[in-house]
């Protein structure tokens, strides 16, 4: 069974600074997909970024980027120029190539951006 581990239950960062959230996963699959979801206090689940395992290039979406290390099974999220609106729970999630309907989530990291 796949597992996703987020080792940082809580983190904080000053506004405009950079922060990195960690995620490791365990799978025997070679083809899979990784996601970071953001859950603000409104409770919505918002997709931040996604990475296909077969792509070596790290995904980037504006201020959000990932460091995908396939051999190490690591998938960290870097947030640059942190903004107050980035305050949220962040979940790392995994799905293998054949079961997009079954996401396995980590337990989440609560990120607080301080003014």
Partner 1 sequence: NAGVTQTPKFQVLKTGQSMTLQCAQDMNHEYMSWYRQDPGMGLRLIHYSVGAGITDQGEVPNGYNVSRSTTEDFPLRLLSAAPSQTSVYFCASSVSFSDQPQHFGDGTRLSIL
Contact residues for partner 1 (CB under 8 A)?
4, 9, 33, 35, 42-45, 47, 50, 52, 91, 93, 95-108
Helices (H), the chain: none
Minimum distance of partner 1 from residue 14's CB (angstroms): 26
Minimum distance of partner 1 from residue 49's CB (angstroms): 10
For residue 97, the 8-state DSSP code is T
Buried b (16+ CB within 10 A) or exposed e, 77-97: bbbeebeeebbbbbbbbbbbe
Nearer to partner 1, 32 or 113 (CB): 32
Nearer to partner 1, 29 or 81 (CB): 29
Minimum distance of partner 1 from residue 82's CB (angstroms): 23
Minimum distance of partner 1 from residue 78's CB (angstroms): 19
Give backbone dihedrals phi and psi of 70, rounded to 5 degrees, phi first.
Answer: -65, -40
Nearer to partner 1, 19 or 93 (CB): 93
Enumerate the β-bridge partners of residue 67: 76
Tell how far CA 112 is from the center of its chain: 15
């Amino acid at each position: 069974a796949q597992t996703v581990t987020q080792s940082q239950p809580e983190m904080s960062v000053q506004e405009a600074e950079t922060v990195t959230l960690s995620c490791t996963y365990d799978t025997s699959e070679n083809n899979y997909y990784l996601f970071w979801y953001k859950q603000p206090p409104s409770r919505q689940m918002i997709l931040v970024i996604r990475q296909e395992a077969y792509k070596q290039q790290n995904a980037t979406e504006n201020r959000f980027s990932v460091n995908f290390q396939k051999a190490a099974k690591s998938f960290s999220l870097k947030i640059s120029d942190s903004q107050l609106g980035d305050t949220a729970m962040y979940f790392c999630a995994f799905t293998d190539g054949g079961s997009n309907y079954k996401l396995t989530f980590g337990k989440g990291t609560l990120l607080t951006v301080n003014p």
